[in-house]
Each structure stands twice: as C-alpha cells, then as structure tokens.
Amino acid sequence: MMEIINFNNRYWDHVKLASKEYKEKTVVDVRGVKIGGDKPIVIAGNCSVESRVITKITAKTVKENSGHILRGGVFKSRTSPRSSKNQNKEKLILLKEIGNEFNLPIITEVTQVNQIDFVKKYADIIQIGTRSMRNTELLKEVSKTKKPILLKRGFDATIEEWLLSAEAIMLEGNEKIILCERGIRTYEPSTRNTLDISAIPMIKQISHLPIIIDPSHATGRRNLVSPLAKAGIVAGADGIMVEIHPEPEKSITDGFQSLDFNDFISLMNDIKTLTKR
Ligand code: PEP
Ligand code: MN
C-alpha cells in the first residue's frame, strides 16, 4: 500500500484488516449471491419501501431481468426533514416477504443502534448510509450482527476515512463488508454528487473488500444513471445499486433519480453485453 498512497494523511497505517496486506480478496456471499466474485451483481429496487403492489412489481422486474438483490429503505436519514417520510417496521417485513417470494435477498439501511435488533431479523445485507459512515458506535454494533454490511462512502469522506470505517467494523469481528461509492460532494452543482470513478481501481489496489457503485445517489438524475453504472462496471466495480420505480414521478422519495422499468431493462441488457454473460 505504501507505494500507492500519498502519505500526507495520517492514518493510512491504521488501515490493516481492510488492506490487501491482510488478505488478497474477499467475496461476500449473500444467500448464494457472490459479491466480489467473477461477475458484477445488481442491487435494485425502490428508494423507500412503498405499497405491496409497487414492491411486488418491482421485485418481479428485478428478478425477471437477472437482478440479484432487492433494495428498499425503511429507516432512512434524509437531507431535509421535510423530505422524510414516516416509515414503519411493517414495511421491512413486507420487503422481506416479497424478497422471499421472488427468491431475492434484501438490503435495507439502519440509521440508529436501536433499530439493529429488529432489522437483523429480516435484512440479508445491512446498509450503512453516507451520513452514518462516521458513526463508530453504529459501525461497532452492526458488526456484531455478523450480517453482510454495505458501507457507503461518506459524501465528504476521503478513501482513507472510508477504509478506516471498514476497519472499525472488521475490528469487531465482521469481515463481510461491501464498500459502496455513492458520489462525493464537489463544486459541481448540476449533479447531486460527483461519482468518484477513480475510487474503484484505487480500492481494488489497496483493499481486498468488494466495491460497488450507486449511480442513483451519485447523480440525482435519472438520465445519468445508466451511463455511470456502465462506466463503473468497466472500471472494475463488483456491482451496482440502482433505484427503480414503476412510475418514478410518483415515487415517495428520490423519483427524479429512479429509473423506470424500461430504462432498467435496457441497462440490464447493456450490462449483459458488457460482461458477456
Ligand atoms: C439510500 O441508498 O437509500 C441512501 C439514502 O443513500 P445515501 O446514504 O448514499 O444517501
Ligand atoms: Mn434514495
């Protein structure tokens, strides 16, 4: 790692368990879906879990188009308190039920320690959102569940800081971590964030952990999601996570960045061509 990094930063030497020196490669197995294996995986679904009908047609579309994992937010931290939607625990039970029906593992976020006991009963992957990456108490407690953890990069975090958060999870004994680059804040206002594509090969060189990208939250714009998803895969990402919705304009959250089903299907076809599956 020493040759690769500019050591103006102080804590690179603290990245031990998350570094390539500890291990060459980690493949996270989520009920048979291998993240970090030979083929990029696709996580797709609604931003927030909505009605049974919407969840069901979304899961069906994900499954029929070779997606691997179903996403849906229940406990979410939002930028604006006015954009928060009250969600309840039943939404997670619904997501799990529909995931089982279509044989899709599910991923959902936790934002607080007191949600973990409930969420771990249902989620196959527990997501740590961008605003929680630095919450070390949450990282420690979520590690103890022994569940696979998707660790999103803080929108203001360096790669060093991000890997230190992965280190915090690993220090508590859980090595099933998937990193997720979801865009960082730059001076460019025309996109919600800026997807740091270079983080993909960088992580590949310095860490054994799988890395996926989230072009939905990175761009905040539906028409930029597919090009960046493909760019991420070409750059070596182990997968993508995208928000989709049957009627994006009616989505309760993040509709402007959700793909409709036609766009999702053409993205999946493009990915098949790219990866020659
Ligand atoms: C999400 O994936 O639902 C989400 C809120 O993402 P982020 O934490 O990256 O903003
Ligand atoms: Mn969202």
User: Residue 190 sits in a domain of what CATH number?
Assistant: 3.20.20.70
pLDDT, mean of residues 9-34: 94
pLDDT, mean of residues 97-126: 98
Q: Which atom of ligand 1 is nearest to the CA of 48?
A: 3
Q: Which residues pair with 178 in a beta bridge?
A: 150
Q: Report how far apart the first and last C-alpha atoms of the chain are (Å, whole number).
A: 33
**pLDDT of 167:** 98
Cα separation, 160 vs 6, whole angstroms: 11
**pLDDT of 276:** 83
Question: pLDDT over 70 for what percent of the chain?
Answer: 95
Is 143 contained in some domain? yes
Residue nearest to atom 9 of ligand 1 (CA): 130
* pLDDT value at 120 more than 80: yes
- From the number of C-beta atoms within 10 Å of its C-beta (0-12, 13-18, 19+), residue 230 rates as middle
* pLDDT value at 4 more than 80: no
pLDDT tens readout for residues 181-216:
999 999 999 999 999 999 999 999 999 999 999 999
Cα separation, 221 vs 122, whole angstroms: 30
Is 49 contained in some domain? yes
Give the CA radius of gyration of the chain. Answer: 17
* pLDDT value at 80 more than 90: no
Tell me which H or E stretch contains 56. helix 52-64
Q: Considering only 68-77, 104-113, 162-171, which range has the smallest mean pLDDT?
A: 68-77
> Total structural domains in the chain?
1
Is 200 contained in some domain? yes
Q: Which residues pair with 9 in a beta bridge?
A: none
Cα separation, 18 vs 132, whole angstroms: 19
Q: Which atom of ligand 1 is nearest to the CA of 109?
A: 3
Q: Considering only 71-80, 104-113, 178-187, 195-204, which range has the smallest mean pLDDT?
A: 71-80
* pLDDT value at 170 more than 80: yes
Is 21 contained in some domain? no
Is 9 contained in some domain? no
**CB of residue 129 inside a 6 A radius of ligand 1:** yes
Cα separation, 63 vs 17, whole angstroms: 35
The DSSP annotation for 195-235 comes to --TTHHHHHHHHBSS-EEE-HHHHH--HHHHHHHHHHHHHT
Distance, C-alpha 6 to centroid of its chain: 27
Tell me which H or E stretch contains 178. strand 177-181
**Please, what is the average pLDDT of the chain?**
95
Q: Which atom of ligand 1 is nearest to the CA of 47?
A: 3
Which domain range does residue 127 map to?
26-77+84-252
**CB of residue 45 inside a 6 A radius of ligand 1:** no
**pLDDT of 2:** 54
For 136, list phi and psi in degrees, rounded to 5.
Answer: -65, -30
Is 229 contained in some domain? yes
**pLDDT of 14:** 93
pLDDT tens readout for residues 213-267:
999 999 999 999 999 999 999 999 999 999 999 999 999 999 999 999 999 999 9
C-alpha 1 to ligand 1 mean position (Å)? 29
Cα separation, 127 vs 46, whole angstroms: 14
Is 273 contained in some domain? no
**pLDDT of 266:** 98
**pLDDT of 277:** 53
Is 14 contained in some domain? no
* 74-90 per-residue burial string, b: 16 or more CB within 10 A, e: under 16: bbbebeeeeeeeebeee
C-alpha 48 to ligand 2 mean position (Å)? 7
pLDDT band at 86 (very low <50, low <70, confident <90, very high): low
C-alpha 196 to ligand 1 mean position (Å)? 16
